[in-house]
Amino acid sequence: MDKLLTDCDSVYHLAAAVGVKLLTENPLASIKNNSRGIDTIFDLADQHRCKIFFASSSEVYGKADGGALCETDPISLGPSTVLRWSYGCGKALGEYLGLSVWFFS
């Protein structure tokens, strides 16, 4: 990834390992893949001074009531014993990392 970003001025991060089947069959690999991927791309984009676009997900809102969602709505996730919430948590982590880089770099 470091070599790929050497000559870039922007990065679009749209990827994530997703799916109930994937999370239930190999949760550790899925969670690590998502969290390490987000961390790596933000670190490298910052090092190379690349702008980054990070695509999040409505899953960060967790248990929505079915109405329209807004970025300022509170997050309401289920228990950590239910693996499906790890995807939304990972995307929320990406949002926090992105905002931290944007505000504090």
Q: What is the pLDDT of residues 28-70, one digit of tens each?
A: 888 888 889 889 999 999 899 989 999 888 788 777 777 777 8
Taking the CB of residue 23, how many other CB atoms lie within 10 A of it?
Answer: 20
68 lies in a domain?
no
**Burial environment of residue 96 by CB neighbours within 10 A (0 to 12, 13 to 18, 19 or more):** exposed
| pTM listed for this prediction | 0.80
* Percent of the chain residues topping a pLDDT of 70: 99
* Percent of the chain residues topping a pLDDT of 90: 12
67 lies in a domain?
no
Find the catalytic residue in 12, 61, 87, 96.
Answer: 87
19 lies in a domain?
no
Total number of domains in the chain: 1
List, for residues 62-85, the tens digit of each pLDDT value: 777 777 778 888 888 888 888 888
Using 50, 70 and 90 to split pLDDT, how confident is the model at 105? low
66 lies in a domain?
no
6 lies in a domain?
yes
Mean pLDDT taken over the chain: 85
Residue range of the domain that includes 55: 2-14+24-59+74-104
pLDDT of residue 65: 73
79 lies in a domain?
yes
8 lies in a domain?
yes
Give me the residue label for tokens 């289920």.
Answer: 78
Give the integer Cα–Cα distance in Å for 24 and 87: 12
40 lies in a domain?
yes
- The pLDDT of residue 10 is above 90: yes
96 is catalytic: no
